[in-house]
Amino acid sequence: MSRKILVVDDMTANRKIIKAALAKAIENIETVEAEDGYKAIEVIKQGGISVVILDIMMPGIDGLDVLAAIKSDKRTCNIPVIMCSALYETGSLEKALKLGALDYFTKPLTEEQMKISLPLKIKNALEHFDNKNELVMFYEHIKDEMHLAEQIQKALITEHAYFPQGEIWGKYIPCEEVGGDMFCIKQVGEKLWFMIADISGHGISAAMISNMINIIFMTTVESCHMPDQLAKKINNTLFEVFGGSKFVLTSAFIGFMDKNSIIYVNSGHPYPVLYNFGQNKVESLSANGFLLGVLEDCGFQNVERKIGKGDAILLYTDGLFDKGMNSEFAAWDSVYEYCKNNIEHFGKGKEQLLSSLIDFFSNKGGKSFIDDVAVLIVEKT
């Protein structure tokens, strides 16, 4: 396929010399000419140019202005530009290289330049252009893949739903297109099962592990009678697949609501907040356990609490309060303190509670979220 080389010079003789030299040395190229900067910009905007050979000193718009216009336009900024100048224009050449010129040569051209160095510079520029285009295409492909992954992950998140045993509200905010925090819900008989989890890291790998955990939860929860059994199945699967890798360490809070109680296990996860509707008070569910995926066949401890109609549990990942400051890293009590000081929000509707909670912590410390965030509210109905 023929590639177009644009030669820009106000001297007709110079354009013809360069055109003839390239035609002898390089196959499958088409040389296009422009006698000034205005014409050069017009030709470049039409598209199809692979390399520009650009004279610096021209009447009207000089070569530096044309170069600046090429590099400032996202449609043309990847086109390699080779500057052409007289020997005494070293200052202009330095400016051109800073503006993004790929290379340069001086004139008048010698016979050796026409046979060897100029064609070599053009071949290198064409290769540079091809590599740039491949990178751009690869980047666009990755963007499309990331967008698809984002849509898939969003489809797995339920932000509001009614179940026989309760009503849920949730919010997921990845710090990239996709991330490693997640929550999932499933009604099995008279039990409303729920899980929130935080996989170490974020991005594509964390998102894939998070989706894997979601699938394990959804496909095995029906065979589990208690949360410790489900935690053990998830833990052993992660350990079997990843061998205890630090890159898949997962904190999780797993449990279910039935007619009058909540039973749960905590696997190294921030303590949820339990709201008592009858007494209009909150408490922190402080229970500890092993992270998932660290040890094979480790045990998990079930904890049971009595609950009544209108009671609710607020679960969250550490991205809600972690702003990268050491004093904030384990500040799980900050969420509890917020709930205690704003307990009236529980009575105004859980959707409003979720929104106000996220607004408060997203602005805390003058920083927005720097990690994935997942928040889930489950209310007994």
Position 93 confidence tier, pLDDT thresholds 50, 70, 90: confident
Query: What pLDDT is attached to residue 87?
Result: 65
**What ranges make up the beta strands (E) of the chain?**
3-8, 29-34, 49-55, 81-86, 103-107, 160-163, 166-173, 181-188, 191-199, 250-257, 261-267, 273-276, 281-284, 303-306, 312-316, 373-380
Distance CA 379, CA 176 (A): 30
Closest CA to 312 of 268, 355, 278, 363: 278
Query: What pLDDT is attached to residue 326?
Result: 52
Query: What pLDDT is attached to residue 323?
Result: 65
Closest CA to 234 of 182, 273, 285, 277: 182
Contacts of 177 (CB under 8 A, 6+ apart): 146, 147, 149, 150
To the nearest whole number, what is the mean pLDDT of the chain? 88
Is residue 338 pLDDT above 80, yes or no? Answer: yes
Instruction: Classify residue 362 by burial, with Cβ atoms within 10 Å: 0-12, 13-18, 19+.
Output: middle
Instruction: Classify residue 313 by burial, with Cβ atoms within 10 Å: 0-12, 13-18, 19+.
Output: buried
CB atoms within 10 A of CB 8: 26
The residue-averaged pLDDT of 249-257 equals 94
